[in-house]
Amino acid sequence: MAIKTLKSAIWGATASILTTTVITIWGELNAPLKNWLASTFTHHWLGKSIISVAVFFGVWLVVHIVSRAPKSEDNNGVVWLLKFLAWIAILSATSLVVFYLYEFFK
């Protein structure tokens, strides 16, 4: 059961990172989105945070319900998912840095 919960959390974190990255870049390019986040949640970063947490728990719940319990301790699957999560985090952070550098120097 712990492996199933861990895998669900990794998928939730992956979706949350990707969502936050997309909303951040999209919000900087699209003023109405940024304004909507600010007006709905009092500040655009607070809005992104609330959406990120909702995506995490939503994906966690769906994956946890839909996935089957592993037959044994599936450490290889967890290791692969953790590496995948790390690469998503690195690529997302890099994307944000490159985007903001481009915006700064254009």
CA distance 79 to 16: 19
CA distance 34 to 84: 29
- Has residue 19 got a pLDDT over 70? yes
Residue 2, pLDDT score? 84
Average pLDDT over residues 1-8: 86
Place of tokens 């944000």: 96
Residue 73, pLDDT score? 65
- Each domain of the chain, given as residue ranges in start order, spans 2-105
Q: Could you give the C-alpha distances from 54 to 44, 47, 80, in angstroms and in order?
A: 15, 11, 25
Residue 90, pLDDT score? 98
Q: Could you give the C-alpha distances from 50 to 18, 38, 105, in angstroms and in order?
A: 14, 12, 31
- Has residue 92 got a pLDDT over 80? yes
Residue 1, pLDDT score? 63
